[in-house]
């Protein structure tokens, strides 16, 4: 597997992912891409999600629900997890301190720190409305 050819299935998977701001699971990707390619298999979805992730075109994320979630936004950004409904959302917010955080952590850690991700938790907008 030296040269990577961009199959339509792979393109469809990435295209779908780019339309979403939440972070769908493989299952969700599968169900949606199947609208366009009814014969696509779950295995193919997994293979391509892993491949895209290895190529750095998407991010593979792990949350408490134990499932893999996928994100087409590969820029460093923070995530939010709703403790009510399990939704995973982006947070478009970088603390001023974010840039210095790795250095600060390095100064108290014997190994070498190359990056970090912050996960916020709480109640998402939808659940806030519904719980009033």
Partner DNA sequence: CTTTTTGCAAAACCTTTGCACAACC
Partner DNA sequence: GGTTGTGCAAAGGTTTTGCAAAAAG
Answer with the entry of a second copy, DNA, none that 110 interacts with (C-beta below 5 to 8 A by kind). Answer: a second copy
Q: Does 96 bind a second copy (CB under 8 A)?
A: yes
Q: Does 86 bind a second copy (CB under 8 A)?
A: no
Label residues 80-112 b or e (16+ Cβ within 10 Å = b).
Answer: bbbeeeebbbeeeeeeeeeeeeeeeeeeeeeee
What's the closest the beta carbon of residue 98 comes to DNA, in angstroms?
28
Rank residues 63 and 80 by Cβ distance to DNA and give the closer one.
63
Q: Does 104 bind a second copy (CB under 8 A)?
A: yes
Helix (H, G, I), strand (E, B) or coil at 87: coil
Q: Does 51 bind a second copy (CB under 8 A)?
A: no
């Amino acid at each position: 597997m030296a040269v990577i050819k961009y199959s339509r299935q792979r393109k469809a998977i990435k295209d779908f992912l780019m339309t979403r701001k939440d972070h769908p699971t493989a299952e969700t990707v599968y169900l949606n891409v199947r609208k366009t390619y009814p014969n696509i298999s779950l295995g193919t979805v997994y293979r391509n999600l892993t491949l895209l992730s290895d190529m750095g075109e998407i991010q593979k994320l792990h949350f408490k629900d134990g499932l893999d979630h996928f994100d087409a936004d590969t820029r460093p950004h923070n995530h939010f997890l709703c403790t009510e409904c399990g939704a995973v959302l982006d947070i478009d917010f970088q603390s001023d301190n974010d840039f210095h955080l790795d250095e600060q952590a390095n100064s108290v850690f014997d190994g070498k720190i190359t990056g970090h991700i912050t996960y916020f938790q709480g109640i998402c907008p939808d659940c806030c409305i519904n719980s009033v």
